[in-house]
Amino acid sequence: MTLKEYVEQAQTFFEHLVEIASDDELFAGSYIQGHFDLAVGYAQVEKLDLTIEDLNINIEKSLVKAYRGGELSDEDKSHVVAVWEKLKNIA
Protein backbone atom coordinates (compact mmCIF):
# COMPACT_ATOMS: atom_id res chain seq x y z
CA MET A 1 0.00 0.00 0.00
CA THR A 2 1.28 3.45 -0.85
CA LEU A 3 1.24 6.38 1.54
CA LYS A 4 -1.44 8.07 -0.57
CA GLU A 5 -3.64 4.95 -0.38
CA TYR A 6 -3.09 4.77 3.38
CA VAL A 7 -4.12 8.41 3.83
CA GLU A 8 -7.24 7.82 1.72
CA GLN A 9 -8.14 4.68 3.67
CA ALA A 10 -7.56 6.52 6.94
CA GLN A 11 -10.02 9.21 5.88
CA THR A 12 -12.56 6.48 5.07
CA PHE A 13 -11.85 4.94 8.48
CA PHE A 14 -12.58 8.26 10.21
CA GLU A 15 -15.78 8.75 8.20
CA HIS A 16 -16.94 5.22 9.02
CA LEU A 17 -16.43 5.84 12.74
CA VAL A 18 -19.27 8.36 12.64
CA GLU A 19 -21.65 5.55 11.71
CA ILE A 20 -20.53 2.89 14.18
CA ALA A 21 -18.56 4.36 17.06
CA SER A 22 -19.54 5.16 20.61
CA ASP A 23 -19.26 8.75 21.82
CA ASP A 24 -15.87 7.97 23.38
CA GLU A 25 -14.62 6.38 20.16
CA LEU A 26 -15.88 9.36 18.16
CA PHE A 27 -13.95 11.71 20.43
CA ALA A 28 -10.83 9.55 20.11
CA GLY A 29 -11.21 9.30 16.34
CA SER A 30 -11.58 13.05 15.97
CA TYR A 31 -8.61 13.62 18.23
CA ILE A 32 -6.45 11.22 16.22
CA GLN A 33 -7.69 12.68 12.94
CA GLY A 34 -6.40 16.07 14.04
CA HIS A 35 -2.95 14.67 14.73
CA PHE A 36 -3.09 12.59 11.53
CA ASP A 37 -4.07 15.53 9.33
CA LEU A 38 -1.37 17.75 10.85
CA ALA A 39 1.30 15.11 10.24
CA VAL A 40 0.17 14.59 6.63
CA GLY A 41 -0.07 18.33 6.01
CA TYR A 42 3.38 18.96 7.45
CA ALA A 43 4.86 16.21 5.26
CA GLN A 44 3.22 17.74 2.18
CA VAL A 45 4.37 21.29 2.94
CA GLU A 46 7.91 20.16 3.69
CA LYS A 47 7.85 17.79 0.70
CA LEU A 48 8.93 14.88 2.90
CA ASP A 49 9.12 11.46 1.29
CA LEU A 50 7.61 9.42 4.11
CA THR A 51 6.69 5.78 4.35
CA ILE A 52 3.54 4.70 6.16
CA GLU A 53 5.74 3.67 9.07
CA ASP A 54 7.43 7.10 9.12
CA LEU A 55 4.04 8.82 9.16
CA ASN A 56 2.77 6.60 11.97
CA ILE A 57 5.92 7.26 14.01
CA ASN A 58 5.43 11.01 13.60
CA ILE A 59 1.80 10.72 14.67
CA GLU A 60 2.73 8.61 17.68
CA LYS A 61 5.34 11.17 18.72
CA SER A 62 2.68 13.86 18.51
CA LEU A 63 0.23 11.78 20.55
CA VAL A 64 2.84 11.01 23.22
CA LYS A 65 3.70 14.71 23.48
CA ALA A 66 0.01 15.45 23.97
CA TYR A 67 -0.32 12.72 26.62
CA ARG A 68 2.68 14.05 28.51
CA GLY A 69 1.29 17.56 28.24
CA GLY A 70 -1.83 16.45 30.08
CA GLU A 71 -4.20 16.99 27.17
CA LEU A 72 -6.16 13.82 27.90
CA SER A 73 -7.54 12.04 30.93
CA ASP A 74 -6.42 8.45 31.45
CA GLU A 75 -9.81 7.24 30.22
CA ASP A 76 -9.64 9.36 27.06
CA LYS A 77 -6.07 8.21 26.49
CA SER A 78 -7.18 4.56 26.59
CA HIS A 79 -9.84 5.27 23.94
CA VAL A 80 -7.33 7.13 21.77
CA VAL A 81 -4.85 4.24 22.01
CA ALA A 82 -7.55 1.70 21.08
CA VAL A 83 -8.73 3.65 18.04
CA TRP A 84 -5.15 4.40 16.98
CA GLU A 85 -4.30 0.69 17.02
CA LYS A 86 -7.34 -0.04 14.82
CA LEU A 87 -6.30 2.67 12.39
CA LYS A 88 -2.73 1.40 12.13
CA ASN A 89 -4.05 -2.06 11.24
CA ILE A 90 -5.53 -0.79 7.96
CA ALA A 91 -2.02 -0.35 6.53
| CB proximity list for 91: less than 8 A, separation 6 or greater | 1, 6, 52, 56
- What is the average pLDDT value for the chain, to the nearest integer? 95
**Residues 19-51: tens digit of each pLDDT:** 999 999 999 999 999 999 999 999 999 999 999
pTM: 0.91
Distances (CA, A) of 2 to 43, 70, 71, 79: 15, 34, 32, 27
Alpha-helix runs per DSSP H in the chain? 3-20, 23-45, 52-68, 74-88
pLDDT of 91: 80
